[in-house]
C-alpha cells in the first residue's frame, strides 16, 4: 500500500470519528509509557527502518502526526500505512526514546478492534495462519509445506512433503516430532492460551475482522474448554 497524502480520501469520515480513534490510541497504556515523547523530525527512525526502503512508508511521518495530534492524518495512516511496518522495532533507536513501532502496533490494534475495512483487507490473506496459531498454539506447521502452497520454494518441497514424517523424526528435540503442529503443545498450555485470548479481548478483535474465522475458532475452543471443565466460558 502506498502512502499518498496528497488528498484526503477519507474525507467522508467525520472528524469526530477520527478523533475518537486517535483518543483510543492515546489511551493505550503503552502510548503513555513509551511510544511517544514528541519528535525531533531527525529521520533516524526512517534510516533504520527496513520497510521504508521498500515501501512508500515513514515511521517519522507517523510519529509526527501523533506528536502534532493530527487526528485527520492519523486516520489516513491508520488505514493506509501501518500495515507496511514489519514490526522489527529497529526504530527504537530514536534519540527522543520514542518507539514508532509500538505506536504502529497500537494503531493496528485500534484499526482491528474497530473493524476498519482496510484492516480486514490487510488481514484477509492470513486467516489460515491465524487459525493454525490460535487453534493449536503453534505457528505455521510442517504439514502446511505443500508444493502448491509455496511454488516459489522449488521442486524439492514436493519430496520433503511426501516424507515429512521421516524428516521430522530426524530432528533431535522430541517435542518437534510432529507434523500437524510446529512442536508439541500440552493440553494445559492450550487451555491457558484459549483463556488468555478470551480474557484479553483477542477473540473480540478476530470477530471484528473475520466473523467466519471467529466462528470456527469458537467451535474448536469451546469444545476443548468444556472438556477441561470451563463450560461457563462464552465468547
Q: Is the dihedral of CA 151, 154, 155, 158 positive or negative?
A: negative
> Per the structure block, which three cell numbers stand in for 130?
491465524
Q: Assess 198 for contact with ligand SF4 (CB under 6 A).
A: no
Minimum CB separation of residue 95 from ligand SF4 in Å reads: 6
Draw the binding track, 94-133, toward ligand SF4 (x: CB under 6 A; -: no contact).
xxx-x-xx--x-----------------------------
- The most distant pair of C-alpha atoms in the chain lies apart, rounded to whole Å, by 59
Instruction: Indicate which single residue of 31, 51, 65, 142 sits in contact with ligand SF4 (rule: CB under 6 A).
Output: 51
Give the residue, chosen from 1, 3, 13, 44, that forms a contact with ligand SF4 under the rule CB under 6 A.
44
Phi, psi of 158 (to 5 degrees): -60, -45
Q: Determine if 39 is a binding residue for ligand SF4 (CB under 6 A).
A: yes
**Residue 141 burial (CB count, 10 A):** 18
- Estimate the crossing angle of helix 15-26 against helix 71-80, to 10 degrees: 80
Position among 35, 49, 112, 209 found at the interface with ligand SF4 (CB under 6 A): 49
The three cell numbers of residue 24 are 483510543
Check binding of 69 to ligand SF4 (CB under 6 A): no
In whole angstroms, what is the distance from residue 68 CA to residue 231 CA?
A: 48
Residues that bind ligand SF4 (CB under 6 A): 39-45, 48-51, 59-60, 63, 85-91, 94-96, 98, 100-101, 104
Amino acid at each position: 500500500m502506498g502512502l499518498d497524502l496528497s488528498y484526503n480520501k477519507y474525507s467522508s469520515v467525520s472528524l469526530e470519528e477520527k478523533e475518537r480513534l486517535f483518543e483510543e490510541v492515546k489511551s493505550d497504556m503503552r502510548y503513555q509509557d513509551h511510544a511517544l515523547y514528541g519528535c525531533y523530525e531527525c529521520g533516524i527512525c526512517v534510516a533504520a527502518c527496513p520497510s521504508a526502503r521498500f515501501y512508500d512508508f515513514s515511521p517519522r511521518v507517523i510519529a509526527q502526526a501523533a506528536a502534532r495530534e493530527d487526528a485527520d492524518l492519523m486516520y489516513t495512516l491508520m488505514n493506509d500505512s501501518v500495515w507496511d511496518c514489519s514490526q522489527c522495532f529497529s526504530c527504537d533507536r530514536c534519540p527522543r526514546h520514542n518507539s514508532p513501532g509500538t505506536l504502529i502496533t497500537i494503531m493496528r490494534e485500534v484499526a482491528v478492534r474497530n473493524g476498519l475495512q482496510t484492516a480486514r483487507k490487510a488481514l484477509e490473506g492470513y486467516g489460515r495462519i491465524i487459525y493454525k496459531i490460535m487453534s493449536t498454539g503453534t505457528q505455521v506447521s510442517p504439514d502446511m509445506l505443500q508444493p502448491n502452497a509455496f511454488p516459489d520454494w522449488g521442486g524439492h518441497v514436493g519430496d520433503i512433503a511426501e516424507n515429512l514424517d521421516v524428516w521430522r523424526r530426524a530432528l533431535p528435540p522430541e517435542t518437534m516430532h510432529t507434523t500437524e503442529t510446529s512442536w508439541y503443545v500440552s493440553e494445559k498450555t492450550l487451555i491457558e492460551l484459549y483463556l488468555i485470548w478470551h480474557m484479553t479481548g483477542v477473540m473480540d478483535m478476530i470477530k471484528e475482522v473475520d466473523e467466519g474465522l471467529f466462528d470456527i475458532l469458537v467451535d474448536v475452543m469451546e469444545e476443548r474448554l468444556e472438556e477441561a471443565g470451563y463450560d461457563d466460558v462464552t465468547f
